[in-house]
Structure 1
Amino acid sequence: MPSSSAVHRSLLVESRAHIYRSVIRSRIRRFGVHPINRERENYGEFHHLYLNLRRFPDRFWQYCRMSVPSFDLLLEKVRPKLTRQKKAISPEQRLVLCLRFLATGLSFRDLAFAFRMGRSTVSNIVLETSVIIWEQLVEEYMPIPTTDHLRNVINDYYRRWKFPNCFGSIDGRHCQIQCPANSGSHYFNYLHYFSIVLQAVADADKKFLTIEVGGRGKQSDGGTFSGSTLFKLLEADKFNVPPPQALPESNIVLPNFLIGDEAYPLKNYLLRPYPRRNLNAQTENFNKKLSIARKCIECAFGILSKKWRFLQKNIETKPSTAVRLIKCACILHNFVRECDGDSDLDYIHVSAEMANDLAQTNATTQEEQSRYNRSSSNALNTRNELVQYFWEFGH
């Protein structure tokens, strides 16, 4: 049995803790808005930085990860929806706050201190603004591909990378998240962290043609693809892919296709490299050509994560919120590629890095189980025809 003095001390500690909690709750109720946050217009990061940064384009780019004209255009597109939100916080401030989260990956608590807001206010603004950005930009900057659009992509791939009949390069990227509640091992990937998968197809200009976000990290690239909407559309021939066409400077007619790495199956609409074992000069030449063209998707992922650095960190939200944030980053990637073009510094840096290893295949991909890589004779014939084409015509 504890002594009476021990019981007395325990009751005293509990009483003091209760009083402390009561004081804190009463202060919160009394303040409504914390005194620190009332000084937002005097000391908040937005109010004493934003206008000054606009005078220095290089610093503004470092802060918002886009040029001043691009920011103004983005603000014009989302202002009507942002204006309907909490009126005490301007559309400009809401957009800057969202971009700062995407650009830095700082916690909502850290941003709350910097911008002199409540933590819940920051999290709500970031989520609401990211959804508005996606909804307002997607139809213009990532529309559902039409046959004419895909035909233009095919022409661009041949003009830029000398790879014919290609309407995009496909790959997946693991986006790290905190362990979801009651998720088991479904989100735990082979890299030993929890993630959701971003599967994307890139055009020849390193813009995303289509994306799907939400695959569980435990899935491989081939498994994610086989369960995707894109797979179902391609299998049913409902993706608006142009009909088979002749290879340039040749009478050989072949179907149009995506290109992927070793993790993807060989299909009529998807080509992958030859296995690295038992390569000869011709098949090695084909692998090299495919690798060069496939760098478009790797470069797109590189620009995406370099610009929106929350993707380089653990996304500390539930998976459904992380999906919305990742989709927002992808549409902003296309927006900046369209508006700032090749002058974007992130594009310049990543392109320079990619130029050093264009001829190398991706060393991190893994061979998939045979159920994903069972190849039809038509797909094998298409790849063999391209091998001969590249070898004979020297493209």
Structure 2
Amino acid sequence: MSHQEKVINFATTIAKIARITNIANELYKEIHGIHPSNRRSQKQGFFKTCIKQLKEKNDKHFFKTTWMNISSFNLLLLLLKHRMERFSNRKAVEPETRLAVTLMFLEQGCNFHVISMAFKLGISTVRKVIYETCDAIWDELHAVYLSLPNSRELRGIANKFYVKTGMPNCLGAIDGKQIHITNPKDNGSMYYNYKKTFSMILMAACDANYVFTYVDVGALRCQSDGGILGRSAFGRKLLNGTLEVPCNTNLPGTSTSFPYYYVASSAFPLKTNLMRPFPGRHLTTDKDKFNLALSKARLHIENAFGILANRWRVLHTTIHACPKNVEKIVLATVVLHNFLMLQNDRNYFTLEVADHSVDNQEIHGRWREVKSLESFQPKTANRSSTSAFQLREKLKEFISSNTS
């Protein structure tokens, strides 16, 4: 790391400490009307003096600290409490505090030293609390909030995509983003990217409501067609055509039988159940219409990633942890996103956050105001079958004849 980069990282850390301090000061003033340094209760830490009282008095400021409303926090605590209770001769960190520590880390993206000072806990304790809580969030929530949809749910997703984008039989959009990490001590080359930095790949699929339906986190360098997509059970089944999906159905208003499929960018291979755009420029009108409809569907995964990273800003940082713990952190943010989306937490998501239309005019979502996650280009060999090309042609003809 160059001297300039070290200076920039140091300045960024100071700015984050200042931000946390300012938040704490504002919350003290809001609750007590006095500066926190003049109260002996400050020794109890940020949580004891602020968070608990905010839950009782001020939902607005509570949301600024945790990215969720009080009822969502209480439900989350109830679901996780039995996993976070600790018994020790020394006074254990309470489950409520453990959750608040983890949420602030994920939401602010600040390092362990900042959290340690804010909560008056040791750095090693903060680190352990965050990793254990992220583990608990994934273990306890993913079976409910991030399970693969069943056939009925998949058909519902496809109907929603058709209404919103004109793409029939679409089960979701797939893409991958880079999560920057520090150089791992072992097998660093597995995470080395073309920009000469280190990263892991967050691969995911989402539905038409920006809820993730599949997620995988792994190393950048992966063998097999489809890159990291092919290393998971979901990806392998998708690429070899054995993924369980609803039976083929007729395209709307026709007698043409057609399979269900996912959509992806041109970086992914064309398969019978994975549609990608036509390549090249100066395309014919029917191919342009197809690409436009596919792009509308694919933008749902861009929006899902945008909302995720806008809310959980740890994903914008270079995460200082080993790959195993980075995976815990990233998976926790994804399942928290789904939890809050499915809880309809209005503090977490409103239509203005995502791309939307007003009077037939496309409006960018507020997530675009923050730097987006960096995409990656999987090294794929487009071993597409004749049937895959034929299906894309059929779908192109349907879309072209049903759009003006």
TM-score above 0.5, yes or no: yes
1:168-207 alignment, distance < 5 Å: 168-207=172-211
Alpha-carbon distance between aligned partners in 1 of 2:81 and 2:375, rounded to the nearest angstrom? 42
Asked if structure 2 preserves the Cα contact closer than 8 Å seen for 1:169 and 1:201, the reply is: yes
Amino acid at match of 2:388: A
Kindly tell me: are residues 89 and 368 of structure 1, through their superposed partners in 2, closer, same or farther at Cα, counting changes over 3 Å? closer
Alpha-carbon deviation of 1:304?
0.7
Which residue is equivalent to 1:31? none
Structure 2 unaligned regions, length at least 5: 1-39, 366-371
Counterpart of 1:242 (choices 229, 246, 256) is: 246
Counterpart of 1:91 (choices 88, 95, 102) is: 95
Which residue is equivalent to 1:18? none
Asked if structure 2 preserves the Cα contact closer than 8 Å seen for 1:262 and 1:367, the reply is: no
How many residues align? The count is 352
Kindly tell me: are residues 204 and 173 of structure 1, through their superposed partners in 2, closer, same or farther at Cα, counting changes over 3 Å? same
Alpha-carbon distance between aligned partners in 1 of 2:227 and 2:147, rounded to the nearest angstrom? 25
Alpha-carbon distance between aligned partners in 2 of 1:388 and 1:108, rounded to the nearest angstrom? 55
Q: Which moved more, 1:157-166 or 1:99-108?
A: 157-166
Q: Give CA deviations for 1:245-292 in whole Å, capped at 9, x if unaligned.
A: 111111111111010001000000100001133411110111010001
1:223-242 alignment, distance < 5 Å: 223-235=227-239, 237-242=241-246
Which residue is equivalent to 1:115? 119
Is it true that 1:317 corresponds to 2:318 in the alignment? no
Task: Report the 3-state secondary structure (helix = DSSP H, G, I; strand = E; otherwise coil) of the residue aligned with 2:246.
Answer: coil
Q: Which moved more, 1:96-105 or 1:139-148?
A: 139-148
1:367-378 alignment, distance < 5 Å: 372-378=381-387
Asked if structure 1 preserves the Cα contact closer than 8 Å seen for 2:206 and 2:301, the reply is: yes
Asked if structure 2 preserves the Cα contact closer than 8 Å seen for 1:195 and 1:217, the reply is: no
Which residue is equivalent to 1:125? 129
1:39-58 alignment, distance < 5 Å: 42-54=43-55, 55-58=57-60
Task: Report the 3-state secondary structure (helix = DSSP H, G, I; strand = E; otherwise coil) of the residue aligned with 1:44.
Answer: helix
Alpha-carbon deviation of 1:126?
0.3
Which residue is equivalent to 2:388? 379
1:147-162 alignment, distance < 5 Å: 147-162=151-166
Counterpart of 2:335 (choices 315, 319, 331) is: 331
Which residue is equivalent to 1:145? 149
Which residue is equivalent to 1:7? none
Alpha-carbon deviation of 1:76?
1.0
Alpha-carbon deviation of 1:149?
2.2
Asked if structure 1 preserves the Cα contact closer than 8 Å seen for 2:173 and 2:264, the reply is: yes
Give TM-score scaled by structure 2 length: 0.80
Amino acid at match of 1:52: Q
Q: Which moved more, 1:213-222 or 1:125-134?
A: 213-222
Alpha-carbon deviation of 1:349?
2.6
Alpha-carbon distance between aligned partners in 1 of 2:104 and 2:351, rounded to the nearest angstrom? 19
Q: Which moved more, 1:313-322 or 1:152-161?
A: 152-161
Is it true that 1:62 corresponds to 2:53 in the alignment? no
Which residue is equivalent to 1:344? 348
Asked if structure 2 preserves the Cα contact closer than 8 Å seen for 1:168 and 1:258, the reply is: yes
Alpha-carbon distance between aligned partners in 2 of 1:366 and 1:212, rounded to the nearest angstrom? 14
Alpha-carbon distance between aligned partners in 1 of 2:174 and 2:111, rounded to the nearest angstrom? 31
Structure 1 unaligned regions, length at least 5: 1-38
Kindly tell me: are residues 94 and 106 of structure 1, through their superposed partners in 2, closer, same or farther at Cα, counting changes over 3 Å? same
Amino acid at match of 2:166: K
Q: Give CA deviations for 1:24-61 in whole Å, capped at 9, x if unaligned.
A: xxxxxxxxxxxxxxx88744010111133222222211
Alpha-carbon distance between aligned partners in 2 of 1:283 and 1:188, rounded to the nearest angstrom? 37
Kindly tell me: are residues 275 and 235 of structure 1, through their superposed partners in 2, closer, same or farther at Cα, counting changes over 3 Å? closer
Alpha-carbon distance between aligned partners in 1 of 2:225 and 2:127, rounded to the nearest angstrom? 31
Alpha-carbon distance between aligned partners in 1 of 2:180 and 2:59, rounded to the nearest angstrom? 32
Counterpart of 1:135 (choices 127, 135, 139) is: 139
Amino acid at match of 1:48: T
Amino acid at match of 1:53: L
1:1-20 alignment, distance < 5 Å: none
Task: Report the 3-state secondary structure (helix = DSSP H, G, I; strand = E; otherwise coil) of the residue aligned with 1:185.
Answer: helix
Instruction: Give 1 or 2 for the bigger CA radius of gyration.
Output: 1
Q: Give CA deviations for 1:129-185 in whole Å, capped at 9, x if unaligned.
A: 111111111111011332222222112211332211011100001000001114343
Q: Which moved more, 1:314-323 or 1:101-110?
A: 101-110
Q: Which moved more, 1:337-346 or 1:205-214?
A: 337-346
Give TM-score scaled by structure 1 length: 0.82
Kindly tell me: are residues 374 and 210 of structure 1, through their superposed partners in 2, closer, same or farther at Cα, counting changes over 3 Å? same
Amino acid at match of 2:390: N
Alpha-carbon distance between aligned partners in 2 of 1:346 and 1:221, rounded to the nearest angstrom? 37
